Amino acid sequence: MRILLLAFLLFNSLYAHKLYVLGNDDGKTLHVKSYFTKSSFCQNCQVKILDKNKHVLFKGTTDKKGEVDFPFTSKNVYIDVVASMGHKNRVFYESENEMIGEDKNESYLKILFALGIIGTIFFILKLLKR
């Protein structure tokens, strides 16, 4: 029974030291949250955002709640969090949201261009009908 109790305490303490990393985005900003347990946030932890080739895009430090925000520039990134005493974790984040920004402006230009072509075709047909 003592061995079982000792094993339970040992495994419970190991679980408390696992570093969890969560990512979420709204199309403009990538929100990163890191914590050890639900009540123990990863404070002042170094966070790096890496691209697919693992080149550093952004660096930052978490606040008291274990959170940090970065500009959203790529749909697929690695989130690398390094805490004190050798705790670290790297997760791959793939966004399901559409990026908001320059791509959106380009789609508006394509729509306006297509409407211009349609208007020109109707104008030409009207001239030919006379």
17 or 101: whose pLDDT is higher?
A: 17
Q: Residue 129: phi, psi to the nearest 5?
A: -70, -30
**Predicted local distance difference test score (pLDDT) of residue 37:** 75
CATH number at residue 26: 2.60.40.10
The residue to which tokens 């930052």 are assigned: 60
Report the distance separating Cα 86 and Cα 119, nearest Å: 64
> Taking the model in full, what pTM does it have?
0.63
Report the distance separating Cα 59 and Cα 1, nearest Å: 48
One-letter amino acid of 97:
N
pLDDT at 116 over 90: yes
- pLDDT tens-digit readout, 53-78: 888 989 999 999 989 999 888 888 99
**Whether residues 92 and 118 fall in one domain:** no
**Whether residues 53 and 105 fall in one domain:** no
Which domain does 129 fall in, by range?
100-130
**Whether residues 64 and 91 fall in one domain:** yes
Could you say which DSSP state residue 73 is in?
A: -
Report the distance separating Cα 75 and Cα 89, nearest Å: 20
- pLDDT tens-digit readout, 8-24: 665 655 555 688 888 98
**Whether residues 122 and 79 fall in one domain:** no
